Structure 1
Amino acid sequence: MVYQQQRKVFVCVTMIIMIMNCLTINASPVDPKNYIEKREANDGSASDFVCPEEDIINTECKGEKDCLYLNPQSCNSYIHCEVNADGLTGTPTVMSCAASLEWNDNTQECDWPENSTCPAGKESNIGS
């Protein structure tokens, strides 16, 4: 077992406790892909969005990054289109990024603000 407390690590091996100092702490960066939240588009933010028919026909929105679009109303969310029964149209749903993340349309995922493709001058809803 390993327990980390501040800059020391306690390691228990066969009933012997060893205390070791950490020289450096290599923390893995948070993976923005793990912080996505679905919310209904009842605030009007996706109500005017029309899912592109060409994308639906070409991809059937089956791929992990298919049918994802920049939300023109908010930097910290994006629009995901789900294919309707007719196979030609889609229903847009707003998907929120985790706090402090914004949509990156180039990589098709929530990302750190410095990597965001949020239009210049567009306010983020982060913290509101």
Structure 2
Amino acid sequence: MAASRHRRTAIAALGAAAALTVGLLSGCSAVNKALDCVHTADSIADSVTELQQAVENAANDPTQADASIASIEKNLDKIGDKTDNVDVNKAVDHLNQAVANVRTEIKNGDKTPDVTPVTDAAGELTKVCTP
């Protein structure tokens, strides 16, 4: 009878350990995704700063703005591919739209497009990416 109780206790302990391990592993995955989001959002923030500077210096080198926009779009693709978080995806969509609007303004000849919506959307993304 004692051996049977010991065996049940051991099985229960093994089950609890397995459940804890699965929980920790999936938790680590979520943390890794959040950290990827934070790192990529940080890269986007740098690209947004570069975009602001490029717009200010558009007369000297109009290609800088295109390069900054391309960098932001590339980083947004990285975040979109790595997350299924609704808030992050919504922030990515807002930032994509803001960047598309700046790209359109530049294509239409606007030498000083308004990058405020891009800055605001990047701030929103940074906020939702914070673990």
Q: Shorter-chain TM-score: which interval?
A: under 0.3
Q: Using CA pairs under 8 Å that are at least 6 residues apart, name the structure with larger relative contact order, 1 or 2.
A: 2
Structure number with the higher helix fraction is 2
Structure number with the higher strand fraction is 1
TM-score (ref. length: structure 2): 0.27
